[in-house]
Amino acid sequence: MATYGKMALTIRHADALERRRAGKGNNDDRHWSDKPLSEMKDRDWRIFREDYSISARGGSIPLPLRSWRESDIPEPLLQVIDEVGYTEPSPIQRQAIPIGMQNRDLIGIAKTGQSSSVMKIKR
């Protein structure tokens, strides 16, 4: 309740989401795919992982790949990826490649046909 002079005003919000939005001044409601990489927040990465059914366990897990071109993959490898015809990384590639590029061990589980065999070639 807010008081203005002698008048009291009660603000009611329809639901929990509306209450949360009212409490945060600069909420960015854009979908992660509409944002540049530099504007991605923790919430965006959480939604990204949910969108691709990516789950990871361990410490200091790097962010997944949104696209081949936004990655730290060297240009000669990106050219090969283009030549082979991979337009978008598969879900397992999105998370496993950044982990592999840190020279860390990983165990990846994916459905057959998810391009997981490409990951075996990398090491």
Domains of the chain: 29-122 (3.40.50.300)
> To 10 degrees, the CA torsion angle through 27, 33, 35, 39?
80
Q: How confident is the model at residue 82 (pLDDT cuts 50, 70, 90)?
A: very high
Q: How confident is the model at residue 11 (pLDDT cuts 50, 70, 90)?
A: low
Q: Would the pTM of this model clear 0.75, i.e. be above it?
A: no
pLDDT tens-digit readout, 45-81: 999 999 999 998 888 999 999 999 999 999 999 999 9
Task: Assess contact for 63 and 96: CB atoms under 8 A.
Answer: no
